[in-house]
Chains A and B, each alone.
Chain A
Amino acid sequence: MKELLRLFGAFAKIGAFTFGGGYAMLPMLEKELVEKHGWVTEEDLADYFAIGQCTPGVIAVNTATFVGYKLKRIPGAIFATLGVIFPSMILILILAAFLSNFASFEVVKHAFAGIRVCVCVLIFSSVWKLGKKSLKNWICWVIFGIVFLLAAFSDIATAILVIATGLLGFVITLIRERRKKA
């Protein structure tokens, strides 16, 4: 139970400071889960993001479910997931009840202009850490280059990009394994 509450707490902290959607939570995930608690690795996070792209629902929720399950199976998945949505749920209830014009306050606008800059830099620092672990040879760089160009300059859905890369990886690995056995 103590472990479950720690999971809930860690994810509530992550949820409270994830501004701007799924990718923006990566810096928080790295700090809390990889560096502080050592619950998952950098590679695990890359895997979860890839899966999260092609499964339904919010990426933050998917990632919480995966990490929670890895540590404490189904109860872990439930506690981590509830943790990650808890802060925003409480905050929105308060805003909806008392401050429905919250987003139009000047001070809020200025604060969030600052936060957006920060999150942007943090995402690149996370990409750097992730790249060091995931781009190990030239094949990885080629995949990175192609997927990056398609994601940045075409309208192809990210889910399709992930599924196509996954299929390619599956087939190549299958051929490699066959050769090893032969």
Chain B
Amino acid sequence: MNFLPTLLRLCGEFFLTGLFAVGGGLATLPFLYEIGAKTGWFTEADVLDMIAVSESTPGPIGVNMATYTGFTVGSLTSWAAGVLDGILATLSLILPSLIIGIVISGFLAKFKDSPLVNGTFSFLRPASTALITAAGLSVAAKVFFPEGFGGLVSFAAFFSILDYKALILAAAVAAAVIFWKKAHPIWLILASAVAGIVFSM
């Protein structure tokens, strides 16, 4: 495989993904499947593995997938090429967001004293809060009811599908957040990771 043309194509594909995937992590998935099918760089199973890795590492899945694919494709040439391709594919993915973000920021800075813009945002803030609440609830459903609600036929069944270990840990974290105001999320996350291992959740 030719190193340079492959690198250019890699950057091009991830640039387009970054440009057209609107709305965060999962929005990149259809684009990733398409890249895999078109180029043969990775299979659908690889994407599923990558989702698992992304759920087990910090960072957005789109970014992880770009780094991973870049490395995998580049390392066919050499290890150093893998690292270089991984970095360049990631930068290509974020470049559109960066440019658009800078343009929007410039616009906001210019109109930051406009009553019209401020008024519009006072309506957007409750909407933003609602979206985060909904996302939080869908995470909570998966965390506390990992088996799903399929087996839910009676009120008693509700308690049989509830993950008690998760509930107890959640209560502990909630208590820490409420009574220890200065708690940094980092410490709570690390402590929860340890709890997950100790109680084999």
Contact = CB atoms under 8 A, between A and B. Distances in A.
Top 4 A-B pairs, shortest CB-CB distance:
A114-B196, A88-B59, A169-B123, A57-B97
A5 interface: no
B130 A55 contact: no
Given A77-B105, A96-B71, A91 B143 contact: no
Contact of B130 (A16, A117, A147): A147
Contacts of B129: 46, 127, 130-131, 134-135, 144
Given A17-B189, A85-B59, A74 B102 contact: yes
A152 interface: yes
A143 B58 contact: no
A93 B23 CA distance: 25
Contacts of B143: 116-117, 120
A43 interface: yes
Contacts, number: 360
B157 interface: no
Interface residues of B, number: 94
A92 B57 contact: yes
A155 B140 CA distance: 19
Interface string A121-160: 1111111001101111001110111111001100001110
A87 interface: yes
Given A93-B71, A95-B57, A123 B136 contact: yes
A23 to B, nearest CB: 5
A125 B24 CA distance: 22
A66 B169 contact: no
A68 to B, nearest CB: 8
A81 B94 contact: yes
Interface of B: 18-26, 28, 49, 52-53, 55-64, 67-68, 71-72, 75, 79, 82-83, 86-87, 90, 93-94, 96-98, 100-102, 104-106, 108-109, 115-116, 119-140, 142-143, 166, 169-170, 173-174, 177, 184-186, 188-189, 191-197, 199-201
| Chain B, interface SS category | helix
Contacts of B194: 111, 114
Interface of A: 13, 15-23, 26-28, 31, 43, 46-47, 49-62, 65-66, 69-70, 74, 77-78, 81, 85, 87-89, 91-93, 95-97, 102-104, 106-127, 130-131, 133-136, 139-141, 143-148, 151-152, 157-159, 161-162, 165-166, 168-170, 172-174, 176-177
Given A77-B102, A121-B170, A111 B197 contact: yes
Contact of B195 (A17, A91, A114, A177): A114
A114 B192 contact: yes
Contacts of A106: 200
Nearest to A106: B200
Contacts of B174: 121, 125
Most buried by A among B21, B24, B170: B24
A173 B61 CA distance: 37
Given A26-B132, A66-B105, A97-B79, A177 B115 contact: yes
A126 B170 CA distance: 15
Given A69-B106, A103-B52, A56 B59 contact: no
